[in-house]
Amino acid sequence: MDKAFRMELVNEVRLSVMRAMETYDERWLTDDQLVEHIGIMTKRWLREHGDMLPRTRVNWVDDKGQQHTSSWMYPLHRIQAMIEDGRISRLKVS
């Protein structure tokens, strides 16, 4: 097996594992939990710049017709991948 093919294969396996983690084994965390896992991020940073990260909220309507919204939830594995591949250093205010 030549070196170039081996590197391509290793990269493809790494990418496949990362996609599987982000899709099937993703962990959605609150801001408090994310700060615990990624020490460099603070609650203040998330409050001021969290919109630059992937995040979502749950919106629902109860049986009385009243709308509710959860706090922000952040995907841990996707954010860790951003740190690993350097995308975290290229964030821009939206």
Mean pLDDT of all residues belonging to the chain: 89
pLDDT of 75 reads: 96
Residue 68: strand pairing partners: 60
Q: Is residue 5 part of a domain?
A: no
Q: Is residue 58 part of a domain?
A: yes
More confident residue, 11 or 28: 28
Is pLDDT of 93 > 80?
no
Q: Is residue 20 part of a domain?
A: no
Read off the pLDDT of each residue in 76-94 and give the average, rounded to a whole number.
87
Q: What is the CA radius of gyration of the chain?
A: 17
Q: Is residue 11 part of a domain?
A: no
Structure tokens given for 9: 């294969």
Spatial neighbors of 49 by CB under 8 A, at least 6 apart, are 91, 93
Tell me the per-residue pLDDT of 16-50, one tens digit each, with 9 for 90 and over. 887 777 777 899 999 999 999 998 899 999 999 99
Confidence category of residue 94, pLDDT binned at 50, 70, 90: low
Q: Is residue 32 part of a domain?
A: yes
Structure tokens given for 34: 């994310």
Q: Is residue 10 part of a domain?
A: no
**DSSP string of 44-62, one letter each residue:** HHHHHHGGGS--B--EEE-
Q: Euclidean distance between the first and final Cα of the chain, in Å?
A: 45
Q: Is residue 41 part of a domain?
A: yes
pLDDT of 38 reads: 93
Cα–Cα distance for residue pair 55/79, rounded to 1 Å: 10
pLDDT of 7 reads: 87
Give the number of domains in the chain: 1
Q: Is residue 15 part of a domain?
A: no
Query: Which residue segment(s) compose the domain that 74 sits in?
Result: 27-90
